[in-house]
């Protein structure tokens, strides 16, 4: 789902800009004041549904590529290592991979004897598989999934994306939000649930959460459930206490909710490491990485996450709601890690004009 932000000196001017540029047939995602003091409206165009389940899920928009993609499956080992370094891969993690390759060749030299020189990517994928780096979210998880993470990591849109994926698989879906405090948060969830044509359960406190869990336990036909949460700042004990209260309530009510960390690939590696280590110490095992497509050094994110012992459940590399729903595996992760990113598109266009 492509969204756009329209700005003005006040609310009226922002809405005039919105209606002039996009018309009135739009969904308002959120309204906020930016750092410059301008009134901002984030909106998305309505999309006519066209899927077998009749849910209004925007379909992936494919744009033709102006240049062929790199044949990443034809890398040699040296080229692979060079590209991983360029993508921000941590040197200690790279050395582990090199050591594994060396040990494999020493112990079983006949394995690679008749192999072509361009098997580097397959070997890297094999290494990731052995390290059990990937643990994807299935389309219809048996237990409710609770998405947690720092502000701006994309938890709300990721919740909607998981709902959309389950809907496309023909599942009955429950969309729940605990984020009823942050300005504009619940409005965004309402817009997305309306877009998907599914109901939204809004929970404001632990008491309401306990009541919802009672109903969940009594239900004979439990829907596939995804829960959006309030942003958690690990450097703020109040935020951490809030999250712990909800997790403890779930445990006391015998509801097996799996919390999954959501983190943006654009976050600096040190901060990602702090979040990954903190949540891993709380028993959280998996992470969803968002904004992969706009991160200049996404491999640095990957390194910080696996160093903390977390497994990657999903990677979001598109702004569209149903894009990137293909199941993640070790080979597709390896391809994402080595994919080359050139200069920003607008700089490239300027270079072509000159």
The b-or-e profile of 7-21 (16+ CB within 10 A means b, else e) is: ebeeeeebbebbeee
CB of 225 closer than 8 Å to CB of 174:
yes
Q: Which residue has the higher pLDDT, 317 or 218?
A: 317
Among 12-16, 57-61, 163-167, the range scoring the smallest mean pLDDT is: 57-61
The band of 12, judged by pLDDT with boundaries at 50, 70 and 90, is confident
Mean pLDDT of 71-91: 75
Indicate if the alpha-carbon torsion angle 86, 303, 321, 18 is positive or negative.
Answer: negative
What are 261-284's pLDDT values in tens digits?
999 999 998 999 999 999 999 999
Report the CATH superfamily, name and number, of domain 54-339.
P-loop containing nucleotide triphosphate hydrolases (3.40.50.300)
Most confident of 83-97, 189-203, 333-347: 189-203
Q: Which DSSP state fits 134?
A: B
Q: What percent of the chain has pLDDT over 70?
A: 80
Q: What percent of the chain has pLDDT over 90?
A: 35
What are 103-159's pLDDT values in tens digits?
777 666 555 555 555 578 888 888 899 989 999 998 888 889 999 999 889 999 999
Please give the mean pLDDT across all residues of the chain. Answer: 81
What are 210-234's pLDDT values in tens digits?
999 988 887 766 789 999 998 899 9
pLDDT the model gives residue 288: 95
Mean pLDDT of 146-174: 92
What are 46-64's pLDDT values in tens digits?
654 444 444 444 444 444 4
Q: Residue 35 CB: number of other CB atoms within 10 A?
A: 5
What are 20-32's pLDDT values in tens digits?
666 777 777 788 8
What are 74-83's pLDDT values in tens digits?
667 777 888 8
Provide the β-strand partners of residue 33.
39
Q: Where are the domains of the chain?
A: 4-45, 54-339
The encoded tokens of residue 319 equal 């702004």
Query: Is 31 strand, coil or helix?
Result: strand
Q: Residue 279 CB: number of other CB atoms within 10 A?
A: 24
Q: Answer whether residue 350 shows pLDDT above 90.
A: no
């Amino acid at each position: 789902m492509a969204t756009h932000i329209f700005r003005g000196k006040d609310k009226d001017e922002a809405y005039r800009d919105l209606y002039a540029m996009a018309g009135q047939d739009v969904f308002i995602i959120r309204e906020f004041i930016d750092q410059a003091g301008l009134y901002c409206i984030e909106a998305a165009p309505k999309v006519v549904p066209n899927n077998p389940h009749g849910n209004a899920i925007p379909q992936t928009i494919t744009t033709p590529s102006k240049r062929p993609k790199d044949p990443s499956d034809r890398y040699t080992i040296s080229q692979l290592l060079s590209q991983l370094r360029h993508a921000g891969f941590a040197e200690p993690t790279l050395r582990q991979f090199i050591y594994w390759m060396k040990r494999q060749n020493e112990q079983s030299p006949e394995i690679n004897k008749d192999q072509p020189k361009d098997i580097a990517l397959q070997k890297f994928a094999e290494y990731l598989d052995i390290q059990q780096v990937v643990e994807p979210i299935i389309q219809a998880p048996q237990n409710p999934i609770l998405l947690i993470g720092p502000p701006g990591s994309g938890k709300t849109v990721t919740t909607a994306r998981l709902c959309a994926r389950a809907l496309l698989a023909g599942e009955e879906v429950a969309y729940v939000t605990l984020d009823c405090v942050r300005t504009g948060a619940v409005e965004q969830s309402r817009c997305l649930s309306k877009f998907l044509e599914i109901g939204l359960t809004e929970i404001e406190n632990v008491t309401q959460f306990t009541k919802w869990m009672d109903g969940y336990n009594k239900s004979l036909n439990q829907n596939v459930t995804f829960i959006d949460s309030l942003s958690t700042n690990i450097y703020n004990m109040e935020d951490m206490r809030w999250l712990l209260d909800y997790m403890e309530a779930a445990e006391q009510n015998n509801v097996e909710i799996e919390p999954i960390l959501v983190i943006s690939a654009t976050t600096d590696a040190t901060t990602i490491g702090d979040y990954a280590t903190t949540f891993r110490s709380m028993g959280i095992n998996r992470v969803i990485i968002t904004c992969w497509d706009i991160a200049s050094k996404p491999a640095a994110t990957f390194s910080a996450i696996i160093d903390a012992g977390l497994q990657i459940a999903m990677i979001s590399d598109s702004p569209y709601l149903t894009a990137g729903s293909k199941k993640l595996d070790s080979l597709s992760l390896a391809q994402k890690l080595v994919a080359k990113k050139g200069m920003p598109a607008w700089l490239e266009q300027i270079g072509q004009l000159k």
